[in-house]
Amino acid sequence: MSGATVTLLYFARLRESLGLAREELALPAGVDTLQALRVHLAARGGAWAEAMAPARKLRAAVNQTLALDDTALKAGDEVAFFPPVTGG
């Protein structure tokens, strides 16, 4: 689905290394899963390539529920990327 806009959120160490907490992104054609989105963001290069690298342990949530790589994305979704959690 080309042109669908999603809200992206970044937390903790990830937010600091990217220097960004939130953005709106129009999904390019073919970027329709969490995994595809991560690859797309890594392609921005620099801190993005490092933070989104496949070897980097990241968790993600879609609409505030933990989600797996193959989760499909649609217009209006709230997508969050963050490091493994350390509460409690």
Partner 1 sequence: MNVRVQEADFDIAAEIAAMRRGNPRIGAIASFIGVVRDINDGDAVSTMTLEHYPGMTEKSIGVIIEQARGRWEVLDALVIHRVGTLKPTDQIVLVVVASGHRGDAFAACEFIMDYLKTQAPFWKKEVTPQGARWVDARTSDDAALERWRQGSG
Interface contacts to partner 1, rule CB under 8 A: 9, 11-13, 57, 61, 64-66, 80, 82-88
Residue nearer to partner 1 on the CB measure, 48 or 82: 82
Place of tokens 């995994």: 35
* CB of 21 vs partner 1, minimal distance in Å: 10
* CB of 40 vs partner 1, minimal distance in Å: 22
- Taking the C-alpha atoms of residue 68 and residue 14, their distance in angstroms, rounded to an integer, is 18
* CB of 6 vs partner 1, minimal distance in Å: 15
- Taking the C-alpha atoms of residue 14 and residue 83, their distance in angstroms, rounded to an integer, is 7
3-state helix, strand, coil in the chain (%, to 5): 25, 25, 50
Residue nearer to partner 1 on the CB measure, 10 or 27: 10
